[in-house]
């Protein structure tokens, strides 16, 4: 068995229903199929920061349930590759932040062993990283070869209109109404990456709950002005 208590708790918002798949429809459909038990070897998804990689991996694990395990290497790398022990018994392993251990000989050997275990048992591997397999500076040639056989998808960033729609989708998932004009205001008065926008929305949700107010522009402006979300 693995040395740490896996699977880790997933974020409650990280489900397929709260992810705007615009521009990434094929990837989202592929991951939904994997989560639903469709046969295959898994896939590799890559993209820049705050494009939704972690959200999607956790959404896969949320839908797959106990058949799966989520492994965030940015959080777990310091624990050592022994945490992978026994994970090959799962039907589905989702490895996040692959670049965090790329080039580390011990980690690469352990990941190659996991690939072999999953392959022998008919399991699947989903990997998220900042780049495609050939661009991740993998030192172990056998591991690079094995990972390069996975279907590879680039996760595309959202445009301005899609960012607003993604904010509104997240708001609805939380039971909030985010009017078009308020969403546009948030895009003009905050950092533009989706992670920062979602964090801002979460904080506004708490402020609105305390004040029993709706997310109008005057309310949002008031909260930002007093430093509650900046």
**Residue 24 in domain:** yes
* Average pLDDT of the residues in 86-108: 97
Is residue 75 domain-shared with residue 128, that is, in the same domain? yes
Whether pLDDT at 6 is above 70: no
Is residue 116 domain-shared with residue 166, that is, in the same domain? no
Is residue 32 domain-shared with residue 127, that is, in the same domain? yes
Is residue 207 domain-shared with residue 167, that is, in the same domain? yes
28-47 per-position pLDDT tens digit: 999 999 999 999 999 999 99
Q: 135, 154, 173: which is the final residue of a domain?
A: 154
150-161 per-position pLDDT tens digit: 999 999 989 989
The two structure tokens encoding residue 97: 């932040």
Type and span of the H or E element at 169: helix 160-173
Q: 94, 122, 154: which is the final residue of a domain?
A: 154
Closest CA to 166 of 203, 196, 194: 194
**Residue 4 in domain:** no
pLDDT band at 1 (very low <50, low <70, confident <90, very high): very low
Whether pLDDT at 7 is above 60: no
User: Rounded to whole angstroms, how far apart are CA atoms 128 and 51?
Assistant: 11
**Three-state SS at 77:** helix
CB-CB contact of 203 with 174 (8 Å) = no
Is residue 111 domain-shared with residue 177, that is, in the same domain? no
Whether pLDDT at 197 is above 70: yes
Is residue 187 domain-shared with residue 220, that is, in the same domain? yes
Which range marks the domain in which residue 56 is found? Answer: 16-154
């Amino acid at each position: 068995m693995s040395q740490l208590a896996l699977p880790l708790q997933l974020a409650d918002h990280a489900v397929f229903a709260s992810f705007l798949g615009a521009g990434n429809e094929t990837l989202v459909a592929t991951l939904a199929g994997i989560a639903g038990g469709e046969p295959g070897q898994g896939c590799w998804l890559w993209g820049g920061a705050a494009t939704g990689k972690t959200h999607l991996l956790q959404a896969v694990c949320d839908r797959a349930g106990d058949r799966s395990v989520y492994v965030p290497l940015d959080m777990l790398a310091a624990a050592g590759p022994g945490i992978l022990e026994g994970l090959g018994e799962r039907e589905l392993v989702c490895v996040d932040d692959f670049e965090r251990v790329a080039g580390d000989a011990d980690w690469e050997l352990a990941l190659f062993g996991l690939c072999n275990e999953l392959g022998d048992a008919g399991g699947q591997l989903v990997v998220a990283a900042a780049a495609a397999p050939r661009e991740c500076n993998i030192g172990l040639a056998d591991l690079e070869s094995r990972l390069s056989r996975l279907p590879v998808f680039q996760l595309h960033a959202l445009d301005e209109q899609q960012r607003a729609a993604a904010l509104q989708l997240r708001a609805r998932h939380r039971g909030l109404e985010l009017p078009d004009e308020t969403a546009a205001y948030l895009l003009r008065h905050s950092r533009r990456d989706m992670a920062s926008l979602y964090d801002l929305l979460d904080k506004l949700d708490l402020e609105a709950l305390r004040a029993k107010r709706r997310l109008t522009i005057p309310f949002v402006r008031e909260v930002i002005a007093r430093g509650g979300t900046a």
